[in-house]
Each structure stands twice: as C-alpha cells, then as structure tokens.
Chain A
Amino acid sequence: MDPRIEKLLPTVQKPARYTGGELGQVMKDKNAVDIRYAFCFPDSYEIGMSHLGIKILYAIANERPDTWCERVFAPWPDMEQKMREQNIPLYALESGDPIRDFDFIGFTLQYELCYTNILNMLDLAGLPVKAADRKDLAPIVMGGGPCACNPEPIAEFFDLFSLGEGEEVNSEIMDLYAVHKKRGSTKEEFLREAAKIPGVYVPSLYEISYNADGTVAAITPKDGAPAVVTKRIIRDLDNVYYPKSFVVPFIDVVHDRVTHEIFRGCIRGCRFCQACFLNRPIREKSPEVINEQCKGLIHETGYDEISLCSLSSSDYTRIEELLNLLLDWTPGEKVNVALPSLRVDNFSDELLQKLKSVRRSGLTFAPEAGTQRMRDVINKNVTEEEMLETANIAFSGGYSAVKLYFMLGLPTETDEDVEGIGTLAKKVVDAYYQNPDKPKGRGVTVGVSASSFVPKPFTPFQWEPQATPEELDHKQRHLKETLPSRKINVSFHDIKTSFLEGVLARGDRRLSAVIEEAWRRGCTFDSWGEYYRFDTWMEVFHDLVLDPRFYANRRRDYDEVLPWDHLNYGIPKKYLMRESEKAKRAETTDNCHNKCAGCGANKLNGGHCDV
C-alpha cells in the first residue's frame, strides 16, 4: 500500500473501506496477466459491496488466467479530499495500483443519481472524463447494468456499454481486446469491431440529430455499427457460472450475507416497473443447483444468512421445494434464510410457517396504490381482500409491524386515489385489532412509505409525464392531511431527488453536458441527501439553456423518436403501447403464469420462457 495512504487512513471515517485485504479477494501476479480490469461501483463501499452483480462479474473475470479484475468504489468525500490534497490517484483495492493504467474501467450503472460519481472517479483516477479526450486504446471505459438501457445522458463519458446480462458478453469483449492490444490497434479500431459483438453499444458510432422542438429526429449508425443493439441474456441459469466464494467485507455493509438469485425476469408486468420489462424472459434456476451453491458459499464465506433474491420470490414455481432443501441443513448450521420480495396475493400460510422457523424480520407489502382503480391502471394485480387476508395471516403468525409501500404521482392519479392510501392503511390497522389471534398486549404499527413515481424507459409508462414537483408536493400534503389513524406513520421520498432521477432516466445525449457541468460545480453523491445540491443542478440547466421539465414532465407521442429507440430489450414498442392504452382504460393484463400476454421477450431465448 502507498505509505501516503497508510498515513492518511487513521484520519478518515471507516478506513477499512480503503484497505482491501478482505477474505475472498482475488490476488494475482500483475506481470502474469494481459488484462487488468477495474470493476467500479460508483457509490460508497457499503453500497457497492452489497451488490450481487459485481460479485458475479468479478468472479467470472478472474476465472480467466489472462485477466486480473479488481474492485473500486467511490471514496467518501472525506477520503476524496485527502486524496486530492496529496495527489493520490484512485486505486484498485486488491493491488493498490492506480486504475488509470488498467485496460478496462467498468462501471455498473444501478441508478441515475450515481452519474456524477462516475465522472468524479474518472477524474480522481487522473483521466479525462470525456471518451473523446481519452485517445489511447487503454483504458476502455465501459458500463453495464439497468441504466445502460438508456445510457444517452452519459454517452459522452463511455467508450462502450454492455446491454443486458454480462456473464458472457464481458468475456467476449475482453477476448477481442486482447487481440487488439497485441496488434497495437487504436481505440477506434477496437471499438468498431466491438460494436459487432451482440449486446455491445458503442455510443460514438451513432449520430443523433434533433428537431426544432428539442425531440430526437434520428439516430444514425456509422462505420458499420448495427441500427439496433439487442440486449444479451443467459439462457440457462443452471449452467452459467456462479461464484464459489464472495469477498467478505470487514465492515458492516448494507447487505452482508450470501445472496442467491433464484430466477430472472418477472411474471407480473406491473406497468411502472422497469426491472420487470428489462429482465424478461423468465428463466428459473433449479432448487438443487441453488441449494448446492448456497451450501458452498456458506462454507466458503462463514456467513450465517442466505437471502434468496428475485423480483418476486413467491412467483418462483418451485419455492416450497427449494425451502425444503435449504431448511434441511440450515437450522443445524445456524444459518438464517430470508426471502424478500414476497407478493401479497400468494403468500401462503405454509410459506409463513416455513419462514417462521428461521428468524423473523419485518413484514413489508407493496400495494403501490391506494385504490383498486389505480392498481388496475398500473396492473398491480392485488385486491384489498387479498392484502387484508395476508395481513391477517401475518398478524396471527405474530407480526405486529407492517410496512406498506406506495407511489405518488402515478398516471391518472386523483386526490381520491391519494386518500385511498390512508384508507387502505387504516383497514390494515383495523384488521389487526379485529384479529383474535393477534400478539397479546402489543399495538400495531403500520408504516406507509410513499415514493414518487418516476417514468422509466422500456415500460408502458415511458411516454407519460412525471408529476411535477408542485403536484407531488400537493399529493404529499394531501396524504398527510387525510390520514385517518395515528397508528400510521408516513414517510416520503424527497421530491427534488425524484425530479432529477426523472430527468436523467429519460434524458438524451445533450444531458452529458449538464452532468459534466454539475459535477464541475461540485455535485457528487446526488443520491445522498446530505450531498445533493438541487439548486446547483437547476443553475446548470439554466446556464446551458436546457429545460429539465422537457425531460421529466412532458408527455411524449407514440411516434416520437425516443433517445433509446436504437436499443432493444426484447419487448417491442408495440406491446408497450398496447399496455399503455390498457392502462388508460384501467384494464389489467393477467400475469404470465395464468396467461401469456405475448410480450415477445421469449424470442431472445429461442421462443422459450419458464412459465
């Protein structure tokens, strides 16, 4: 480790964020590898180390004898300041080497509000933030993850994006790079070839033109780049590589346990949910494989908790089989099994009993909207009866605290729908007191968390205007004023934060200039309330003569060219339009288990979908 770093570590918060050396980290001889890969998570160590994707891709890259993949996180502002004072460049945790000398710098793009951190990390590394200003072949700056579905606002900072699931395509990119590095190619030569790999989007090979009204006129590929880039998927989850070990952090991170993905995709088709439409088709992993891999990970890491993750765990068709396999050995080894993301409508008594045999945590439901009409609009196919029935099962099972998740600002939402949130929460309170089997001598607490709806690309609501900050403010006040019970605690998301998220989510390439300028004026860690500088952002929009409301609060026509129209996530625009029209009529679409709605994503998997 650089002695200067060693000396400044005692003066910063949580220094173990910056030391590396955790169990499970991969060490290699840097002289014995051809490719050095810096896998960057543009947020704090605690957030980044909780992310499953980084664990998978880190392990896969390090399976390659020719590659050493290391981890990099955004230094917290106290550390950043000291690094800048002493000219210490951003380094990778395993080797301590500066990442500007690496072959790849890969960023995972999990949420829009991390964009300024990406620029900050490139700058801390000592690299120009704009791709066009980085002339050499290395480092190639690449991005992947959910926000790669509309990477246009950050297109100018990246050399390439990888769309969809990265397990296979990352290796293909590295193979190609190895050839070009040996050949001494220029960056342009490499990128032109990389653009031919399915799932690889090279933004510099696309020309964007605009109409007088500011909308996109055309997206024109050049130098042989494909007109449409289609995301990659893994066809067989049982046989795709899964890490045999995780890096086990020293300090307490947000999710500090064995996490295991049980299936990809979601059968529900809630119209607001980007994760659902980005991750189709449905592919399940078999219980035997999950169980064996979990067992191996528990023994390798020493963790005492397994979290089974997916977009909707109880929709996993073999959930009981899986729990039986796991509960066969986990209690004996004092391992807890957690099953987040449960739906309210198929949460059975049996399932509850199984979960009770392991440690009980809080209970959360996500009705998302307060009235049936509103839930029909968003296609959240749960009814009040189902919800109360589930709440009663839970109360009888000993729960006395329930958290309910809602969104404000959904398309067509009225004041009445907002009031419905309070009414529904009150019914949950009443259900508790009417339940004869409720826990003795305890009152109920119902937490209502109301976030602000942000329309996202590749969802049926991608054409919808986001509720304006003024409208959201009214809705929050209205909800608070009409709450019918003091047993209900309500919390809201910050409106200004949701607004910027809305702007960036559906932004075009012109926003690169805004992001760069906001960062130059000091914006970083925008998702952290204490560092978010809304006024600075608004000044930048003003100075660059771009209207944030054009991006967030404007209704798009179906025939408008959207900034992400050249990217394909497997679900045709026509399907999304059909869903959008059904939403306007408050018509629901059945879930995929009951009836295939023909979203078209199965084409990515040779016509196959695990439903």
Chain B
Amino acid sequence: MYEVRLWLSKRGRIRFVSHLDMFRLMTRAVRRANIPLWYTEGFNPHPYISFLLALSLGVEGEKEPVDVRITDDAVTPEEVRDRLNASLPEGLFVEAATKPVMKPSEITWGEYLVTYDPSEMNADSLKEALDSGALETEKSGKHGGRKVMKKVNVSECIHSWSLEETEDALRLKVVLPAGSVMNLNPQQLTDAVNAYLGTSAAPLRAVRLRLLNADLEEFR
C-alpha cells in the first residue's frame, strides 16, 4: 500500500460542484476506474479520498491536491492517473500523480487569478481599494457554539497582488491566506472591494493557480 497525491484541475462548468459533492463524485470515478483504493474500516466503509483544501463553489482550480491510498503496489501512480482520467467527467483532470512531499498542514497561501469585467470594475479604483489598507468583510464564524458574523480585515490578509488590464478583462493575481488556520476566497475579497468602492462587481472567473507553504514555496 502506498499514498499518492493527485493534482486535479477543475475547469469550466464543473466549478459549480461543491466541495462536499466532489467527494461523492471522486468516489464514483474511482469505482468506475476500478482503482484499488484503501477503504476506511468500520460500520460503513468508504474509500479514503482526502481533498487537502476545499475550493469555493464557482472557483476553478489548476492543481488541487487530493491524497489517496493505493492498496496494490503493482498499480503505479501513472496508471492511477490514466485510469482515473478515463473515468472523470468533463472538466476534471488529473494533471499529475506524485509522492506527497509536504504535510497538508503546511498549506498557508493560495495564489488566485481573478478576472473582472472592466465595465464593472475600474483598474484605478481596484488599485486604490487594494492599497487603501481599509478593506473589510464579514465571515460567518462560531463563538461559543453560536453562529456569529465576524469582521475580517481583508487588507491585512492580502500577501501580494498584481494587476493586468486588457481591453476586455481586468486580471488580478493575488496571494490570499489558504489552509487550516485562515482562509479568504476571491468572492470575499471582491465583497470587500465592492463595499469599499460602493460597486457591485462580480468576478467573471476566479482560478486558484497553486497552493504555497509559509515560505511561499509551491506546495508539493
């Protein structure tokens, strides 16, 4: 038995499938592909498939790590990749299958590419908002078991950003906290920008390009 880290891309309309539904989808894909996966033991065994970090509904991913355990050593990681690709629905693709190097808990940052419609979001305004140091949004959280809305200082969360403007698109590359400690997704960033500017822009597209550790090394 060995553990393998699959790098999954999620593109197109399948971005509307939620994190919770992704687990069921992968379970079925693995069953169709007849991959010898390790099943959890207990009353209701299910295959061990671990999506290391949830991807928000509507966000695409370029290389999302998914850990699985293969019970038959004769089945190589490349074979797992190819068999799975033959059984995954349109929009999902295993880009690579590698030996896990880092621990899931090391994930600290996510690099995103967020595209806006220039008619909805002005480049100068966006720059101003990102430079303001005053971006805020609300996130639902828990306090003593109760659901509460918590204020989040978004400006403090943003590690770095760059902006590129073309005629039909305004592209923001941004590094946001991702992982078990702190998370901020492109929609929350957009909400904060909208609140600051008094606009109502919606991203045309948001893609998580890669995950990084605390030292900004690519998660492997």
Contacts and interface: CB of A to CB of B under 8 A. Distances in A.
B13 to A, nearest CB: 4
B21 A302 contact: no
Interface string A193-214: 0000000000000000000000
B29 A302 contact: yes
A9 B39 CA distance: 35
B17 interface: yes
A297 to B, nearest CB: 11
A299 B89 CA distance: 15
Contact of A10 (B17, B25, B187): B187
Contacts of B91: 21
Interface string B134-155: 0000000000000000000000
Given A15-B58, A16-B17, A302 B89 contact: no
B16 A302 contact: no
Given A302-B32, A304-B27, 17 more contacts: A10-B57, A10-B58, A10-B187, A15-B58, A21-B13, A21-B89, A22-B89, A248-B28, A250-B21, A251-B21, A252-B21, A302-B28, A302-B29, A302-B31, A303-B28, A304-B31, A334-B39
The 8 nearest A-B residue pairs measured at CB: A302-B28, A302-B31, A302-B32, A15-B16, A19-B13, A10-B58, A23-B89, A250-B17
B1 to A, nearest CB: 17
Nearest to B206: A10
Interface in B1-21: 12-14, 16-18, 21
Interface in A1-34: 1, 6-7, 9-11, 15-16, 18-23
A180 to B, nearest CB: 36
Interface string B43-75: 011000000000001100000000000000000
Nearest to B16: A15
Given A16-B18, A19-B13, A21-B89, A250 B25 contact: yes
A359 interface: yes
A300 interface: yes
A171 interface: no
B83 to A, nearest CB: 12
B114 interface: no
B30 A9 contact: no
Interface string A278-319: 000000000000000000000111111000000000000000
Chain A interface residue count: which class?
20 to 34
For B16, B25, B31, B89, which residue has the most chain A Cβ atoms within 10 angstroms?
B16
B204 interface: yes
A242 B176 CA distance: 50
A457 B138 CA distance: 56
B29 A251 contact: no
Contacts of A1: 13
Contacts of B39: 334
Given A10-B58, A10-B187, A334-B45, A16 B202 contact: no
B16 A7 contact: no
A303 B45 CA distance: 14
27 contacts: A6-B13, A7-B204, A9-B16, A10-B58, A10-B187, A11-B202, A15-B58, A16-B17, A16-B18, A19-B13, A21-B12, A21-B13, A23-B29, A248-B28, A250-B17, A250-B21, A250-B25, A252-B21, A252-B24, A299-B32, A302-B27, A302-B28, A303-B28, A303-B31, A304-B27, A304-B28, A334-B45
Nearest to B12: A21
A320 to B, nearest CB: 26
B29 to A, nearest CB: 6
Given A7-B204, A21-B89, A250-B21, A16 B29 contact: no
Given A9-B16, A302-B28, A15 B57 contact: yes
B165 interface: no
B217 interface: no
Interface string B188-216: 00000000000000101000000000000
Interface in A552-569: none
Contacts of B29: 23, 302
Interface residues of B, number: 27
Contacts of A20: 13
Contact of B90 (A10, A21, A248, A304): A21
A299 B27 CA distance: 13
Contacts of A10: 16, 57-58, 187, 202
B200 to A, nearest CB: 11
Contacts of B28: 23, 248, 301-304
A305 to B, nearest CB: 11
B85 interface: no
B98 interface: no
A16 B32 contact: no
Nearest to B33: A302
Contacts of B122: none
Contacts of A15: 16, 57-58
A18 B15 CA distance: 12
Contacts of B204: 7
A252 B23 CA distance: 11
Nearest to A359: B44
B87 interface: yes
A299 B31 CA distance: 8
Nearest to A18: B16
Nearest to B26: A302
B109 to A, nearest CB: 23
A13 to B, nearest CB: 10
Contacts of A304: 27-28, 31
A21 B11 CA distance: 12
B14 A21 contact: yes
B22 to A, nearest CB: 9
Interface in B79-133: 87, 89-91
B25 to A, nearest CB: 6
B90 A9 contact: no
A6 B115 CA distance: 14
B87 A16 contact: no
A312 to B, nearest CB: 28
Contacts of A248: 28
A341 to B, nearest CB: 23
Interface in A355-369: 359
A16 B14 CA distance: 8
Nearest to A22: B89
Given A21-B89, A301-B28, A301-B32, A251 B202 contact: no
